[in-house]
Structure 1
Amino acid sequence: MTVSLDLHSDRVYPEPAAMLRLIKPITWFPPMWAYLCGVVSSGVSPLSHPVLVILGIFLAGPVVCGMSQAANDWCDRHVDAINEPDRPIPSGRIPGRWGLWIALAMSALSLFVGAFLGTWGFIATVVGVLAAWAYSVEPIRLKRSGWWGPGLVGLSYESLPWFTGAAVVAASLPSTEVILLALLYGIGAHGIMTLNDFKALEGDRQMGVNSLPVTLGPECAARVACWIMAIPQCIVIGLLMHWGREWFAFAIFLSLIVQFMAMQTLLKDPKGRAPWYNGTGVTLYVLGMMVAAVAVRGLA
């Protein structure tokens, strides 16, 4: 596979399949799910605003998240040439500056679609677009930090769409309970993003990206990620108990127990088991989000 770091390629136009891979459909689920959690937690029936629900899910996933992936791949093309040279940009299947143009066009599309979600939806879209570029582009490039980068992504993928879903369908500022849940699950997602950094360990080390697996080592980084995922869920359990939603708290507690068991397996081989944990422990994490959303809906 030929790596094209100087942006030269025999191609003039990108491959359609490569363009789809650039915006990574597999990454769309977290913000789409978080937006739906926000809608549910608002206390407003999704059936009363079906257009806002569908449009918001489309905006959170394919549009804003897809844009963020395109922007990240463009800014990461040199790192990807080391870690994954078969990706669309370093492989030359998206030639020249097409990667940049796609990211910019999708940024504009994000703002256009966000304008149809009212004031709250548009403001949230602007924040999401700015966060995506702040994560990837020089000289800001918060991705260089193993603390700021995953934190920004966690808040952008979980907290922001959750807040947006609740605010859009209610046409008002969400309740304190909703905001707290959105914030806590976004903070916990920092750990998920840290585990995602394991696959780019070598390239990050060579290109000066100080992810936690690089700065702390895989074993310590995995332990930190586990604690960051677990502590916010413990706080959620405590809040639900305080709000009189004991059965919901118990359901999340059981989920967390199973996550702890999965974490023990992860810690035996953090680098090798990180993809496995993303399919097990993370699934339980996001299911707990919806349980919490249903619980707080009763309060609303």
Structure 2
Amino acid sequence: MHGYLAITRPVNSVVAGLAGVLGYLIATGTVRPEAAFLIGIIALVTAAGNTINDYCDAEIDAVNRPDRPVPSGAVSRRGALVYAALLFTGGVVLAFFTNVLCLGIAVFNSVLLVLYAVRLKGTPFLGNLAVAYLSSSIFLFGGALAGPAGLAANLPVAGVTLLAMLAREVLKDAEDVEGDRAGGARTLPMILGVPRSVGLALGFALAAAVLSMLPVFRWWGLPYLLAIGALNLLVFVRSAGVRECATPACVRDSRVTSTLKKGMFLSLLVFTAAAVIY
């Protein structure tokens, strides 16, 4: 049973579920008991995505990560496939107890997770876009539990998350060019080169910062602008060094992906605090 638990990345799956509740809080300013459904649905679908990903990567992991459940023999490939199907089914069935919007997102994300594992992961930029959408959709899902108005309220938050995640995903690929080339992968930085990819990623990050300051949030006002503006400035100052990078090692040394990750976390705290106070 340890292998079947480990293959789901349980901590990541539960944290994703809790982020869905955070999305509901951002959309409504409060949390109701029915929001507990979000944890189960998102955790199950996320766990299923992790499992199907390991199923598809079994041969690669046999070389790079032989300790993972499938290559180590803790979970058979067929067992992983059946387990993923059961987890996807469990998440979608649980979504039937919410509303049509949540059910639609749960089904769409389940299909996308399978497509990502099977094909999109190896497709330049489309794989990055899929990961960015899946991350941002957690907030759409949380808002959708409150109905169309909740979904609409979280569109700006999801947009900021999508753009910031796109920036981080492209920069992560820029960090890993050597390893990806050795593994036979084909990523955007391998096509455009590291300097252009860094420029594109910073463009996505700038777009996320601009969107975060537009009057599209229901809590938009001077206190919010001061908080989010200071955070945006701090992130860009800390990330400034990556602009001159032309090699993967330079991107890694800049620690820009870590800075963006911390910036996204802090921005969610700002969104949540502003939503509750408003």
The TM-score with structure 1 as length reference comes to: 0.77
1:72 touches 1:136 (CA, 8 Å); kept in 2? yes
Counterpart position of 1:282: 261
Counterpart position of 1:155: 133
Q: How many equivalent pairs are there?
A: 274
Instruction: State how far apart, in whole Å, the 1-side matches of 2:78 and 2:250 are.
Output: 36
Matched, 1:68 2:49: yes
Aligned-residue offset at 1:26: 4.5
Summarize deviations over 1:146-181 as a string: whole Å, max 9, x none: 3111111111122x221121121x233436443233
1:143 touches 1:209 (CA, 8 Å); kept in 2? no
1:68 touches 1:132 (CA, 8 Å); kept in 2? yes
Helix, strand or coil: the match of 1:19? Answer: helix
Aligned counterparts, 1:38-117, within 5 A: 38-43=23-28, 45-46=30-31, 49-50=32-33, 52-60=34-42, 62-117=43-98
Aligned-residue offset at 1:211: 2.1
Assess, with a 3 A threshold, how the Cα gap between structure 1 residues 55 and 238 changes in structure 2: closer, same or farther.
same
Counterpart position of 2:142: 165
Aligned-residue offset at 1:54: 1.8
Assess, with a 3 A threshold, how the Cα gap between structure 1 residues 129 and 96 changes in structure 2: closer, same or farther.
closer
Aligned-residue offset at 1:126: 0.5
Assess, with a 3 A threshold, how the Cα gap between structure 1 residues 145 and 38 changes in structure 2: closer, same or farther.
same
Instruction: State how far apart, in whole Å, the 1-side matches of 2:235 and 2:123 are.
Output: 26
The TM-score with structure 2 as length reference comes to: 0.82
1:240 touches 1:246 (CA, 8 Å); kept in 2? no
Instruction: State how far apart, in whole Å, the 1-side matches of 2:258 and 2:27 are.
Output: 28
Summarize deviations over 1:266-285 as a string: whole Å, max 9, x none: 676456448x5555431221
Counterpart position of 1:31: 16
1:43 touches 1:298 (CA, 8 Å); kept in 2? no
Counterpart position of 1:118: 99
Instruction: State how far apart, in whole Å, the 1-side matches of 2:79 and 2:94 are.
Output: 22
For structure 1, the residue ranges without an aligned partner over 5 or more in a row are 1-15
Aligned alpha-carbon RMSD (Å): 3.1
Summarize deviations over 1:52-92 as a string: whole Å, max 9, x none: 222202322x3111111111111122233343333222233
Assess, with a 3 A threshold, how the Cα gap between structure 1 residues 221 and 77 changes in structure 2: closer, same or farther.
farther
Give the counterpart letter for 1:157 in structure 2.
S
Give the counterpart letter for 1:124 in structure 2.
I
Assess, with a 3 A threshold, how the Cα gap between structure 1 residues 296 and 285 changes in structure 2: closer, same or farther.
same
Instruction: State how far apart, in whole Å, the 1-side matches of 2:196 and 2:183 are.
Output: 21
Instruction: State how far apart, in whole Å, the 1-side matches of 2:214 and 2:198 are.
Output: 25
For structure 2, the residue ranges without an aligned partner over 5 or more in a row are none
Counterpart position of 2:170: 194
Which stretch has the larger CA shift, 85-94 or 220-229? 220-229
Counterpart position of 2:229: 253
Aligned-residue offset at 1:194: 3.2
